[in-house]
């Protein structure tokens, strides 16, 4: 399989002292296509990640606050609020703005890539061009 | 003014493109209804008229140099220029006397707003189509790869593995063809703008 090691991370739980925890890397997946969402979710779970999924842009920020992900995989074309708006929302929240966001979209125009990176995305992957193994390598490189 | 000249001026007047003819002293001598509409029927001074346009980001050079260039043997110029947010294609051609000596020039302006709008729409369609086609291809690719990986989804027999590998390879080939098609479309767009 992916031979992926769990990361040992120091987390800050709201309202509590610092505590040392051994935990799975938490990924928030924002993806509205149910088939792609299922493929990513199941594959990432099998690879040893903890995964939360939202299917529209408006749910992203509340889920970040609840789930406290280590990294976010963000689609761009989503209902209610698109990925660019979500990136803008995240950048306005100092507490969460440092969470790396990898845009995983099937929009592939240079203007989309530049816009996403300007808004704070650490990486931009055209979904159809990447296997799950390659996406996991990208995730690991940004943790 | 002879009949031929009158016919020419009438023809210039009814053209749907802007035509401005200027003489050796850089004074406009004919401006048709499109040009007059652009200056709101005010008197036209050639330097002011030229200065009211800006070159679009797609163009290099200078419209004023093009206007002067007709007197130094330059045969024609083409620029994409803007008046406010409105796009035009501008051609500048010399007007020669019977001995072939340049005695003036003609500026021809063609409104390309529709062309620009068509380009914008094409870019949107390319973006939309690419997204719509890539989405199901992505899930086919991911599920085929997950099955081939076998971990967590169960073992495959030799024939199943062979068919799935073909499915996966074909999907990746289709994605690659789509990417090539989009690259060609973008290159074509770059050439026309």
Q: What is the pLDDT of residues A16-32, one digit of tens each?
A: 444 445 588 999 999 99
B chain contacts of residue A132, beta-carbon cutoff 8 Å = 142, 145-146
Q: Can you tell me the distance from the alpha carbon of A64 to that of A44, in angstroms, rounded to the nearest whole number?
A: 18
Lowest mean pLDDT across A123-127, A138-142, B115-119, B155-159: B115-119
Q: Report how far residue B69's alpha carbon sits from residue B111's, in angstroms, rounded to the nearest whole number.
A: 23
Domain boundaries, chain A: 12-141
CATH for A12-141 is 3.40.50.2300
Q: Are residues B143 and B87 in the same domain?
A: no
Based on the domain organization, do B23 and B52 belong to the same domain? Answer: yes
Tokens of B46: 């050639």
**Interface residues of chain A, partner chain B, Cβ below 8 Å:** 1, 33, 35-36, 38-40, 42-43, 46, 77, 105-109, 112, 126-129, 131-133
pTM of the model: 0.64
- Whether B53 and B101 map to the same domain: the answer is yes
**Nearest residue in B to A37, CA atom:** B139
Residue B170 touches chain A, beta carbons under 8 Å: no
Same domain for B107 and B29: yes
Position B153 scores a pLDDT of 83
Confidence band for B159, pLDDT divided at 50, 70 and 90: very high
Does B10 share its domain with B90? yes
Contacts of A106 in chain B (CB under 8 A): 130-131, 134-135, 138
What CATH number should be reported for the domain holding residue B85?
3.30.450.20
Q: Residues for chain A: how many in total?
A: 143
Question: Considering B64, B90, B111, which residue would you say is the last residue of a domain?
Answer: B111
Q: At what angle do helices A132-141 and B113-149 cross, to 10 degrees?
A: 100
Beta-bridge mates of residue A104: A125
Q: Do A42 and B130 touch (CB under 8 A)?
A: no
Matching residue, tokens 């050796």: B24
User: What span, in angstroms and rounded, lies between the C-alpha atoms of A48 and A44?
Assistant: 6
Q: Which two tokens stand for residue A44?
A: 């990432």
B167 contacts in A (CB within 8 Å)? none
* Token pair listed for A62: 């509340």
Contact between B49 and B26 under an 8 Å Cβ cutoff? The reply is no
B138 vs A127: CB contact, 8 Å cut-off?
yes
Highest mean pLDDT among A75-84, B36-45, B94-103: A75-84
Q: Are residues B9 and B88 in the same domain?
A: yes
CA distance linking residue B192 with residue B123, whole number of Å: 12
If asked whether residues B94 and B136 sit together in one domain, one would say no
The pLDDT tens digits of the residues spanning A42-59 come to: 999 999 999 999 999 999
Domain closes at, from B62, B81, B111: B111
Q: Which residue among B134, B145, B152 sits closest to A106, beta carbon to beta carbon?
A: B134
Range of the domain at B161: 116-192
pLDDT digits (tens, 9 = 90+) for B85-136: 788 888 898 988 888 888 999 999 998 888 888 888 887 787 778 778 899 9
Contact B139 A106 (CB under 8 A): no
Residue to mutate among A84, A128, A130, with most B CBs inside 10 A, is A128
């Amino acid at each position: 399989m992916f031979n992926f090691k769990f990361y040992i991370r120091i987390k800050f739980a709201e309202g509590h002292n610092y505590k040392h925890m051994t935990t799975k890397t938490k990924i928030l997946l924002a993806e509205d296509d149910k088939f792609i969402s299922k493929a990513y979710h199941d594959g990432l779970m099998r690879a040893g990640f903890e995964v939360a999924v939202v299917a529209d842009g408006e749910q992203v920020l509340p889920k970040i606050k609840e789930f406290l992900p280590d990294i976010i995989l963000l689609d761009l074309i989503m209902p209610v609020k698109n990925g660019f708006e979500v990136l803008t929302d995240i950048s306005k929240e100092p507490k969460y703005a440092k969470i790396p966001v990898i845009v995983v979209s099937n929009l592939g125009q240079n203007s989309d890539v530049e816009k996403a990176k300007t808004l704070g995305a650490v990486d931009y992957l055209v979904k159809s061009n990447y296997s799950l193994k390659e996406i996991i390598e990208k995730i690991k490189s940004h943790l | 003014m002879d009949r031929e000249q009158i016919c020419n001026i009438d023809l210039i007047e009814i053209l749907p493109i802007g035509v401005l003819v200027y003489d050796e002293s850089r004074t406009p001598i004919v401006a048709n209804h499109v040009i007059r509409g652009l200056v709101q029927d005010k008197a036209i001074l050639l330097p002011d008229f030229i200065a009211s346009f800006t070159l679009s980001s797609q163009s290099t050079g200078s419209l004023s140099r093009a206007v002067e260039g007709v007197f130094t043997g330059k045969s024609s110029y083409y620029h994409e220029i803007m008046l406010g947010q409105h796009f035009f294609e501008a051609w500048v051609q010399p007007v020669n006397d019977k001995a072939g000596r340049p005695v003036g020039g003609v500026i021809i302006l063609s409104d390309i707003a529709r062309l620009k709008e068509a380009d914008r729409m094409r870019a949107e369609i390319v973006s939309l189509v690419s997204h719509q086609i890539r989405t199901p291809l992505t899930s086919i690719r991911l599920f085929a790869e997950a099955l081939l990986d076998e971990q967590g989804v169960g073992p495959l027999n030799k024939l199943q593995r062979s068919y799935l590998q073909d499915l996966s390879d074909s999907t990746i080939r289709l994605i690659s063809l789509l990417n090539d098609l989009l690259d060609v479309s973008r290159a074509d767009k770059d050439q026309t703008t």
